[in-house]
Amino acid sequence: TDTFTDSASLLPVLAPGEPGFYENKQFTDLVDTYNVRNDVVYIQVSDADENDNSGIVDSVVVRVFVGNGGNGLIVDTELIQLTEATPASGIFRSDTLALVDTMIPVFGDRILTAGAGDTLHVFYFDNDLASDSGYDTALILAVPTNGIVQFYENILGLKAIIHKRNA
Protein backbone atom coordinates (compact mmCIF):
# COMPACT_ATOMS: atom_id res chain seq x y z
CA THR A 1 0.00 0.00 0.00
CA ASP A 2 1.08 3.54 -0.64
CA THR A 3 1.16 6.00 2.23
CA PHE A 4 1.72 9.70 2.30
CA THR A 5 2.40 12.02 5.23
CA ASP A 6 2.31 15.78 5.21
CA SER A 7 2.43 18.52 7.82
CA ALA A 8 1.45 22.15 7.97
CA SER A 9 1.78 25.08 10.33
CA LEU A 10 -1.46 26.72 11.35
CA LEU A 11 -1.38 30.48 11.72
CA PRO A 12 -4.19 32.74 12.90
CA VAL A 13 -6.23 34.19 10.04
CA LEU A 14 -7.74 37.64 10.38
CA ALA A 15 -11.05 38.60 8.79
CA PRO A 16 -10.86 41.00 5.82
CA GLY A 17 -10.03 44.50 7.01
CA GLU A 18 -9.25 43.38 10.56
CA PRO A 19 -5.88 44.73 11.67
CA GLY A 20 -3.64 42.68 13.92
CA PHE A 21 -0.69 43.38 16.20
CA TYR A 22 2.36 41.17 15.69
CA GLU A 23 5.58 40.73 17.58
CA ASN A 24 7.86 39.61 14.77
CA LYS A 25 8.90 40.75 11.32
CA GLN A 26 7.63 37.51 9.75
CA PHE A 27 4.07 38.35 10.90
CA THR A 28 3.56 34.88 12.42
CA ASP A 29 3.17 35.87 16.10
CA LEU A 30 -0.20 37.59 16.57
CA VAL A 31 -0.18 39.15 20.06
CA ASP A 32 -2.41 41.02 22.48
CA THR A 33 0.34 42.23 24.85
CA TYR A 34 3.67 44.03 24.60
CA ASN A 35 6.36 44.89 27.14
CA VAL A 36 6.62 48.55 28.05
CA ARG A 37 10.36 48.72 27.27
CA ASN A 38 12.49 47.52 24.38
CA ASP A 39 9.65 45.96 22.43
CA VAL A 40 8.68 46.48 18.80
CA VAL A 41 5.29 46.51 17.13
CA TYR A 42 4.21 45.28 13.71
CA ILE A 43 0.74 45.76 12.22
CA GLN A 44 -0.94 43.85 9.40
CA VAL A 45 -4.24 44.30 7.55
CA SER A 46 -5.64 41.94 4.93
CA ASP A 47 -7.93 43.68 2.44
CA ALA A 48 -8.06 42.32 -1.11
CA ASP A 49 -10.16 45.17 -2.59
CA GLU A 50 -7.43 47.68 -1.66
CA ASN A 51 -5.13 45.97 -4.16
CA ASP A 52 -5.79 48.71 -6.70
CA ASN A 53 -3.02 47.80 -9.15
CA SER A 54 -1.89 44.17 -9.35
CA GLY A 55 1.41 45.20 -10.94
CA ILE A 56 2.70 47.27 -8.01
CA VAL A 57 2.59 47.27 -4.22
CA ASP A 58 -0.25 49.41 -2.90
CA SER A 59 -0.62 50.93 0.55
CA VAL A 60 -3.27 51.68 3.18
CA VAL A 61 -3.22 53.78 6.35
CA VAL A 62 -4.19 52.78 9.89
CA ARG A 63 -4.61 55.00 12.94
CA VAL A 64 -2.86 53.86 16.10
CA PHE A 65 -3.42 55.50 19.44
CA VAL A 66 -2.34 54.80 22.99
CA GLY A 67 -5.06 54.94 25.65
CA ASN A 68 -3.91 55.69 29.18
CA GLY A 69 -4.86 52.83 31.47
CA GLY A 70 -5.24 55.14 34.46
CA ASN A 71 -7.72 57.73 33.22
CA GLY A 72 -8.63 56.82 29.63
CA LEU A 73 -6.90 59.81 28.03
CA ILE A 74 -5.22 59.44 24.64
CA VAL A 75 -1.46 59.59 25.24
CA ASP A 76 -0.11 59.24 21.69
CA THR A 77 -1.56 58.90 18.21
CA GLU A 78 0.04 57.96 14.90
CA LEU A 79 -1.07 57.46 11.30
CA ILE A 80 0.89 54.47 10.01
CA GLN A 81 1.21 53.57 6.34
CA LEU A 82 1.07 49.85 5.64
CA THR A 83 2.61 48.60 2.39
CA GLU A 84 1.40 45.56 0.45
CA ALA A 85 3.63 42.55 1.18
CA THR A 86 3.84 41.65 -2.53
CA PRO A 87 2.00 42.99 -5.60
CA ALA A 88 -1.60 41.71 -5.77
CA SER A 89 -1.45 40.07 -2.29
CA GLY A 90 -3.94 42.36 -0.55
CA ILE A 91 -1.88 41.92 2.65
CA PHE A 92 -0.58 45.21 4.03
CA ARG A 93 2.19 45.40 6.63
CA SER A 94 3.96 48.06 8.67
CA ASP A 95 7.64 48.55 9.14
CA THR A 96 9.05 48.19 12.64
CA LEU A 97 7.42 50.54 15.15
CA ALA A 98 9.26 51.32 18.38
CA LEU A 99 7.43 51.13 21.70
CA VAL A 100 8.93 53.33 24.44
CA ASP A 101 8.01 54.76 27.83
CA THR A 102 10.84 57.28 28.21
CA MET A 103 9.90 59.92 25.63
CA ILE A 104 7.34 62.68 25.32
CA PRO A 105 4.71 61.64 22.74
CA VAL A 106 5.04 63.40 19.38
CA PHE A 107 2.39 62.96 16.67
CA GLY A 108 3.86 61.60 13.45
CA ASP A 109 7.22 60.37 14.78
CA ARG A 110 6.31 56.66 14.25
CA ILE A 111 7.25 55.98 17.89
CA LEU A 112 4.51 54.66 20.14
CA THR A 113 4.87 56.18 23.60
CA ALA A 114 3.12 54.12 26.26
CA GLY A 115 3.41 53.12 29.90
CA ALA A 116 2.56 49.97 31.80
CA GLY A 117 -1.22 49.49 31.90
CA ASP A 118 -1.84 51.52 28.74
CA THR A 119 -3.54 49.99 25.69
CA LEU A 120 -2.57 50.22 22.01
CA HIS A 121 -5.53 50.63 19.66
CA VAL A 122 -5.32 50.24 15.88
CA PHE A 123 -8.21 51.24 13.60
CA TYR A 124 -8.50 50.51 9.90
CA PHE A 125 -11.28 51.96 7.76
CA ASP A 126 -11.89 50.85 4.17
CA ASN A 127 -13.45 53.72 2.21
CA ASP A 128 -14.53 51.37 -0.60
CA LEU A 129 -16.24 48.72 1.54
CA ALA A 130 -17.03 49.69 5.14
CA SER A 131 -17.50 46.03 6.13
CA ASP A 132 -13.75 45.55 5.50
CA SER A 133 -12.97 47.84 8.44
CA GLY A 134 -11.86 46.81 11.90
CA TYR A 135 -9.77 47.36 14.99
CA ASP A 136 -7.50 45.54 17.43
CA THR A 137 -6.04 46.25 20.87
CA ALA A 138 -2.94 45.22 22.80
CA LEU A 139 -2.18 45.75 26.49
CA ILE A 140 1.17 47.19 27.60
CA LEU A 141 2.73 45.16 30.43
CA ALA A 142 5.32 46.20 33.00
CA VAL A 143 8.75 44.68 32.46
CA PRO A 144 9.81 42.29 35.21
CA THR A 145 13.06 43.29 36.87
CA ASN A 146 15.56 41.64 39.20
CA GLY A 147 14.86 42.22 42.87
CA ILE A 148 16.04 41.34 46.33
CA VAL A 149 13.73 40.78 49.27
CA GLN A 150 15.21 40.88 52.77
CA PHE A 151 13.47 39.54 55.88
CA TYR A 152 14.89 40.50 59.29
CA GLU A 153 14.45 38.55 62.47
CA ASN A 154 14.47 41.64 64.69
CA ILE A 155 14.54 45.41 64.43
CA LEU A 156 18.32 45.53 64.86
CA GLY A 157 18.72 43.93 61.44
CA LEU A 158 20.41 40.76 62.66
CA LYS A 159 20.04 37.40 60.89
CA ALA A 160 18.85 38.66 57.52
CA ILE A 161 17.34 36.06 55.23
CA ILE A 162 17.85 37.14 51.63
CA HIS A 163 15.83 35.83 48.69
CA LYS A 164 16.87 36.86 45.19
CA ARG A 165 14.56 36.59 42.20
CA ASN A 166 15.80 36.97 38.64
CA ALA A 167 13.35 38.13 36.02
Between the alpha carbon of residue 1 and those of residues 5, 38, 79, 113, 145, the distances in Å are 13, 55, 59, 61, 58
| 145 half-sphere exposure, CB direction, 13 A CA radius | 6
Model confidence pLDDT, tens digit, residues 25-64: 999 999 999 998 889 999 999 998 898 888 999 999 999 9
- Cα 124 to chain center, whole Å? 14
Q: Quick one: pLDDT at residue 161?
A: 53
Instruction: Report the C-alpha gap between 100 and 23 in whole angstroms.
Output: 15
Ordered mean pLDDT values, 10 residues apiece, the chain (167 residues): 61 72 92 90 93 91 90 90 94 94 91 92 91 92 73 59 55
Q: For position 139, what pLDDT does the model report?
A: 95
**Residue 148: what pLDDT?**
66
